[in-house]
A and B are shown apart, each in its own frame.
Chain A
Amino acid sequence: MVLSKDLQKSLWITFFVLPGLVIVALFILLPLFLSLFNSLFSWNQLIRGEWVGFGNFRRIFFTSPYRERFFNALRNNGKWFLVTMLVQNILGLVFGYLLSRRIPGHGFFRRTFFIPVLFSIVAVGFLWGLYLKPNGLVNAFLKLVGLEEYSRAWLGEESIATFSIIAVNIWRWVGFPSLVFLAAIDAIPLDCLEAAYLDGARETQVFSRIVLPLIVPALTVITVLTLIGSLNVFEQIYTMTGLDGSPNYSTDTIGTLFYRTAFGSVDSGNPEIGIGSAIGVVIYLLTFLASAGFIAISRRREVEL
Chain B
Amino acid sequence: MSRRSNGIVALLLLVSAVSLFAGGSKEKSETPTPGASAPAAPKAAPAPSAAPVVIQFWTWRPEDVAVYNKLIGIFQQQNPGIQVVQTAHKNTEYNTILSAALSGKSGPDVFQSRAYGGLESFAQSGYMEPLENWVPELKDFSEAARRGATSIKDGKIYGVPFASQTLFVYYNKKMYQKLGLSVPSTWDKFLANLEAMKKAGIQPLANGAKDGWTLEVMMGALAPNFYGANEFFNKVIKGETNFLDPKFVQAIDKLRDLIPYMPPMYMGVSYTDMQAAFINEQAGHFIGGSFEAGYFSSQNPDLQYDFFPGPSAKEGEPNYVSTYADGNFSMNAASTKKAEAAKLLRFFASKTTGEAFIKELKQVSQVPGIDPTANPFIAKVLSVQKHSTPYIFLVGFRYQQPTGSSLAQAALQGMFAGKLTAAEVCKQIQEGIATYYKPFQK
List the interface of chain A (C-beta within 8 A of B). 8, 12, 15, 44-47, 63-65, 69, 132-135, 139, 151-158, 241-242, 244, 246-249, 261, 263-264, 266-272, 275
Q: How far is the CA of A153 from the CA of B3 in the complex (A)?
A: 67
Known: A134-B263, A154-B268. A244 touches B403 (CB 8 A): no
B225 at interface (Cβ–Cβ under 8 A)? no
Residues of A within 8 A of B120 (CB): 45, 270
Asked if B441 is an interface residue, CB under 8 A from chain A, the answer is no
B124 adjacent to A44 (CB under 8 Å): yes
Q: Does B90 contact A (CB under 8 A)?
A: no
- Give the top 4 A-B pairs by smallest Cβ distance, nearest first: A153-B268, A156-B267, A156-B268, A134-B265
Q: Which of A135, A152, A247, A275 has the most CB of B within 10 A?
A: A247
Q: Is B53 an interface residue (CB 8 A)?
A: no
A270's partner among B96, B209, B400 (CB-CB below 8 A) is: B400
Q: Which residues of B contact A156 (CB under 8 A)?
A: 208-210, 265-269, 417
B103 in contact with A64 (CB, 8 Å): no
In the complex, are the beta carbons of B417 and A247 less than 8 A apart? yes
Let me know if B125 is at the binding interface, CB within 8 A.
yes
- The 24 listed contacts between A and B (C-beta, < 8 Å) are A44-B124, A47-B125, A64-B431, A65-B402, A134-B266, A134-B273, A151-B265, A153-B267, A153-B269, A154-B268, A158-B413, A246-B413, A248-B414, A248-B417, A248-B420, A261-B401, A267-B212, A267-B406, A268-B402, A269-B399, A269-B401, A270-B118, A270-B121, A270-B399
Give the dominant DSSP class at B's interface.
helix
Interface residues of B (CB under 8 A from A): 3, 7, 10, 95-96, 99, 103, 117-118, 120-122, 124-127, 208-213, 216, 263-270, 273, 398-403, 405-406, 409-411, 413-414, 417, 419-420, 431-432, 435
Chain B contacts of A139 at CB under 8 A? 265
Question: Known contacts being A46-B121, A269-B398, A270-B121, is A155 close to B210, with CB within 8 Å?
Answer: yes
A244 in contact with B212 given A46-B99, A156-B269 (CB within 8 Å): yes
Chain B residues lying within 8 Å of A261, measured Cβ to Cβ, are 401
> Are the C-beta atoms of B211 and A246 separated by less than 8 Å?
yes
Residues of A within 8 A of B126 (CB): 47
Given the complex of chains A and B, what is the CA–CA distance between A45 and B410 in angstroms? Answer: 24
Please judge, given known A-B contacts A45-B124, A46-B103, whether A134 and B406 are in contact too, CB under 8 Å: no
CA gap between A269 and B398 in the complex, in Å: 6
Task: Report the separation of the CA atoms of residues A102 and B237 in the bound assembly, to the nearest whole angstrom.
Answer: 71
Q: Which residues of the partner chain B approach A270 to less than 8 Å between Cβ atoms?
A: 117-118, 120-121, 399-401
Q: Which of A65, A152, A241, A247 meets B431, CB within 8 Å? A: A65
Q: Told that A261-B401, A267-B409, A270-B121 touch, could you supply 15 new A-B pairs with CB distance under 8 A?
A: A45-B125, A46-B125, A64-B431, A65-B402, A65-B435, A134-B268, A153-B210, A244-B212, A246-B211, A249-B410, A264-B121, A268-B406, A269-B117, A269-B400, A270-B401
Name B432's closest neighbour in chain A (CB-CB).
A65
| B417 shortest CB reach to chain A, Å | 6
Chain A residues within an 8 Å CB radius of B124: 44-45, 47
Query: Do B268 and A268 touch across chains, with their CB atoms under 8 A apart?
Result: no
The answer on a CB contact under 8 Å between A153 and B265 is yes
Which residues of chain A have C-beta atoms less than 8 A from B265's C-beta?
A: 134, 139, 151-153, 156
CB distance from A210 to the nearest CB of B (A): 47
Q: How far is the CB of B20 from chain A (nearest CB, A)?
A: 16
Contacts of A47 in B (CB 8 A): 124-126
What CA separation (Å) do A43 and B400 show in the bound complex?
Answer: 12
Q: Could you tell me the distance in whole angstroms from the C-beta of A60 to the nearest C-beta in chain B?
A: 12
Q: Which residues of A contact B431 (CB under 8 A)?
A: 64-65
Chain B, Cβ-Cβ closest to A270: B121
Chain A residues with CB below 8 A from B267, complex form: 153, 156-157, 247
For residue B118, give the distance in angstroms from its CB to the closest CB of chain A. Answer: 8
Among B126, B212, B405, B419, residue most surrounded by chain A Cβ atoms (within 10 Å): B212
Nearest CB of chain A from residue B258's CB, rounded to whole Å? 16
Residue in A closest to B6 when the chains form the complex, CB atoms: A12
With A46-B103, A64-B431, A65-B432: A247-B405 Cβ-Cβ less than 8 Å: no
What is the minimal beta-carbon distance from A244 to any residue of chain B, in angstroms?
6
A267-B209 in contact (CB<8A)? no
A134, B269: Cβ atoms closer than 8 Å: yes
Residues of A within 8 A of B405 (CB): 267-269
Measured in the bound complex, the distance between the Cα atoms of B210 and A154 in whole Å is 10
* A248-B410 contact given A44-B125, A65-B431, CB 8 Å threshold: yes
Contacts of B211 in A (CB 8 A): 242, 246
**A271 interface neighbour in B121, B213, B409, B411, Cβ under 8 Å:** B121
Q: Which residue of the partner chain A has the closest CB to B103?
A: A46
B409 neighbours in A (Cβ, 8 Å): 244, 246, 267
The residues of A that contact B435 with a CB separation of less than 8 Å are 63-65
* A133 close to B270 (CB less than 8 A): yes
Residue from the set A46, A156, A158, A244 with the largest chain B CB neighbour count within 10 Å: A156
Q: A45-B124, A267-B405, A267-B406 are in contact. Are A157 and B417 (CB under 8 A)?
A: yes
* Whole-angstrom CA separation of A249 from B134 in the bound complex: 45
A158 to B122 CA separation, bound complex (whole angstroms): 36
Instruction: Give Cα A247–Cα B417 distance, bound, in whole angstroms.
Output: 9
> Which B residues lie within 8 Å of A15 (CB)?
7, 10
The closest CB in chain A to the CB of B216 belongs to A267
User: How far is B117's CA from A220's CA once the two chains are assembled, in angstroms?
Assistant: 48
Which one of B96, B103, B413, B432 lies within 8 Å of A263 (CB-CB)?
B96
A244: chain B residues within 8 A (beta carbon): 212, 406, 409-410
How far does the alpha carbon of A47 sit from the alpha carbon of B273 in the complex, in Å? 40
Chain B residues with Cβ below 8 Å from A263 are 96
Chain B residues, Cβ within 8 Å of A135? 273
Instruction: Give Cα distance in the complex from A249 to B400, angstroms.
Output: 19
Q: Give bound CA distance, A98 to B437, whole Å.
A: 61
Q: Please indicate the chain A residues that have their CB under 8 angstroms from the CB of B273 in the complex.
A: 133-135
A275 to B211, CA, bound (A): 25
Q: What chain A residues lie within 8 Å of B216 (beta carbons)?
A: 267
Contacts A132-B268, A246-B212; is A269 near B125 (CB within 8 Å)? no
Chain A residues with Cβ under 8 A from B406's Cβ? 244, 267-269
Question: In the assembly, what is the distance between CA of A125 and CA of B13, in Å?
Answer: 42
When chains A and B are docked, how far (Å) is the Cα of A154 from the Cα of B268?
A: 7
For residue B95, which residue of chain A has the nearest CB? Answer: A264
Give the nearest-CB partner of B277 in chain A. A135
CA distance A267 to B401 in the complex (A): 10
Cα A123 to Cα B253 in complex, Å, equals 39
Residues of chain B within 8 A (CB-CB) of A133 are: 268-270, 273
Closest to B99 in A: A46
Chain B residues near A264 (CB-CB < 8 A): 95, 121, 401
**Nearest B residue to A164, CB-CB:** B268
